[in-house]
Amino acid sequence: MLVVLALGNPGARYAATRHNIGWMVADAVAEKLGATFAPARGEYYEARASIGDVPVVLVKPTTYMNNSGIAAAQLAERHSVAPESMLVLTDEIQFPVGRIQLKPSGSSGGHNGVESVIYHLGTHDFPRLRCGVGKDFGPGEMVDYVLSGFPAGEKQIVEEMIAQARDAVLVWASEGTARAMNLINTRADAKPREDGERVANDT
């Protein structure tokens, strides 16, 4: 079994915000596969599907961003899912809007949701698909920025990013992390910084 864990915040208030781009991608994957999200026996919503012969569970934690790892731990225990079989979908302020990157492992880069997954799984070694949301904010403005929506002028590029990320998830599930990275990461030499400023009370 494979798990796709989309980071974000529950509720209509957060649905269209930059921080919830992972949920938007998960919704696009579910739509493509004809799957529907429903409450699960844990602190998350899930949608079950298959890609080829491989069962896939799409997951949206309901614990808010900072505690996303609770759902990861519940899934790992309940389904005996290894960390390398759990793809985390997350927003990334170090990337411009529209850019995505797949990594097989790594640090949290200061992202509280990813940090929670690392803590609860006890490892950095899980793949993550990072979706760019830009960095157009000043000192102390990051929380308001990631909890705001995309402006109308970015609508097309956001839609294209979601479609690209959706297809990346499908490639990852069917062909594995290494193959997906080769197809998705078209600019491996343009590695972004991971030490951008984040704040501890990021929601």
Active site residues: 19
- At 101 the three-state DSSP class reads strand
DSSP state at residue 18: G
Distance CA(104)–CA(38), nearest Å, equals: 28
Distance CA(7)–CA(126), nearest Å, equals: 14
Q: Which of 67, 105, 74 is nearest to 88 (CA)?
A: 105
Q: Which of 183, 73, 191 is nearest to 126 (CA)?
A: 73
